[in-house]
Amino acid sequence: MSDTLVDVNAESVAIFLAELERALTRQIDTISVLPLHGDPYSFPIISEALEFVGDYKESDTSASFVKYEFIIRYNNGDQVQAEFKDKSNALEFLRSYLPPFEIVE
């Protein structure tokens, strides 16, 4: 009977097994967190952007907070990018990547 169920649902079983394999083999490599402050600057040409970056004072933290940017990179080359202006939403996003349960040894 189980063979018949698998045969009848072969396509669904194949999709499930492929998704299961992807979920089990894709692992997070790095999580980049970029807290951004201040106003964005836009330039029409590269030389102006180069000049800006060259003159930019990185130690100046008096600018107001703008947003959090996240880049999650996986071992298979995939990546997820997200931006949040609100800390609680940023935390909720990160928590969504926690395992559903903790393994206790």
Integer Cα distance of 93 and 84 in angstroms:
9
Q: In this structure, is residue 79 part of a structural domain?
A: yes
Q: Which domain holds residue 78?
A: 27-95
pLDDT of 89 reads 94
Q: In this structure, is residue 6 part of a structural domain?
A: no
Among the listed residues 17, 30, 39, 41, the one whose alpha carbon sits nearest the alpha carbon of residue 75: 30
The number of distinct structural domains making up the chain is 1
Q: Cα separations (Å) of 28 from 25, 53, 76, 79?
A: 10, 31, 9, 9
Q: In this structure, is residue 13 part of a structural domain?
A: no
Q: In this structure, is residue 9 part of a structural domain?
A: no
Instruction: Express each pLDDT in 62-97 by its tens digit.
Output: 888 899 999 999 999 999 999 999 999 999 999 998
Which residue type does 47 have? S
